[in-house]
């Protein structure tokens, strides 16, 4: 049985979540969570996981699925004789739509997945971190949590809410060696950006490549972030040595929010 700490990553099958899993694998037992078990199984097979990795399928936007998932996590913790000490709340969804076409269902869905679900997971797992004597919660937010983009009111609200409770909980836990931080990537080369580029293509007639370049130009560096560079920041925050950093919204955007 490995003595490495347990790290739970949501949305671990693709993009930033997969990159985080790969970066944490050398020093952690991985709990890989996401909606598609086949994708998670493939990710686990492709990663080098010296301390082991476990796959848990969940729809984090569904409260019943979340409850079942948390029971499964508790069972795994009991089986492994350890508690989750690193939680990376990465799973999320985006929506681009003008105000008039942002319906109540879309608003509720984004708040549920991007803000409520990570809060519920954090609330459930922080007691184990406190019992273990240290823990790290890293929430993957967005530059949309700290600046405005047109056509993203629901998405921005959900990520701003995530950032709000990140800061509040960080203060609450500050004396316990449990840190709570948010990373705020700019446009990153993931499925979400691919979807955004296709949406721009459909509405403007520009090519997908032109649309991707338009998104990249939001950054003064003129490029998209890579999932790996976002993962590097997440992993640094997960280290014991980062214990003095808590309640922060760390933008990784090539200077966009400077």
Catalytic annotation, residues: 155
Burial 6-45 (b: 16+ CB within 10 A, else e): bbbbbbbbbbbbbbbbbbbbeebbbbbbbbeeebbeebbe
**Of 218, 208, 200, which is closest to residue 142 (Cα–Cα)?**
218
Rounded CA separation 170/184 (Å): 16
Q: How far is CA 102 from the centre of its chain?
A: 23
Cα distances from 109 to residues 120, 177, 241, in angstroms, run 15, 33, 36
Rounded CA separation 168/221 (Å): 32
Rounded CA separation 23/143 (Å): 22
CB-side neighbour CA atoms (13 Å) of 177: 11
Asked whether the beta carbons of 145 and 192 are under 8 A apart, the reply is no
């Amino acid at each position: 049985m490995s003595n490495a700490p347990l790290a739970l990553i949501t949305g671990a099958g693709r993009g930033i979540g997969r990159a985080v899993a790969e970066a944490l694998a050398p020093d952690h037992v991985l709990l890989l969570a996401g909606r598609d078990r086949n994708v998670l199984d493939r990710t686990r097979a492709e990663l080098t996981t010296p301390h082991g990795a476990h796959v848990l399928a969940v729809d984090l936007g569904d409260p019943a699925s979340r409850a079942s998932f948390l029971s499964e996590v508790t069972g795994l913790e009991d089986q492994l004789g350890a508690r989750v000490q690193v939680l990376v709340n990465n799973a999320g969804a985006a929506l681009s739509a003008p105000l008039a076409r942002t319906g109540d269902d879309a608003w509720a869905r984004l708040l549920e997945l991007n803000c409520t679900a990570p809060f519920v997971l954090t609330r459930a797992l922080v007691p184990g971190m406190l019992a273990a004597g240290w823990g790290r919660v890293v929430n993957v937010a967005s530059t949309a949590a700290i600046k405005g983009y047109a056509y993203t009111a629901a998405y921005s609200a959900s990520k701003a809410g995530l950032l709000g409770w990140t800061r509040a909980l960080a203060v609450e836990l500050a004396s316990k060696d449990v840190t709570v931080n948010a990373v705020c990537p700019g446009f990153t080369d993931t499925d979400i950006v691919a979807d955004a580029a296709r949406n721009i293509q459909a509405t403007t007639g520009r090519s997908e490549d032109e649309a991707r370049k338009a998104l990249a130009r939001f950054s003064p560096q003129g490029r998209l972030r890579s999932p790996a560079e976002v993962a590097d920041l997440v992993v640094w925050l997960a280290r014991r040595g980062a214990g003095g950093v808590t309640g922060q919204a760390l933008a990784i955007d090539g200077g966009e929010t400077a």
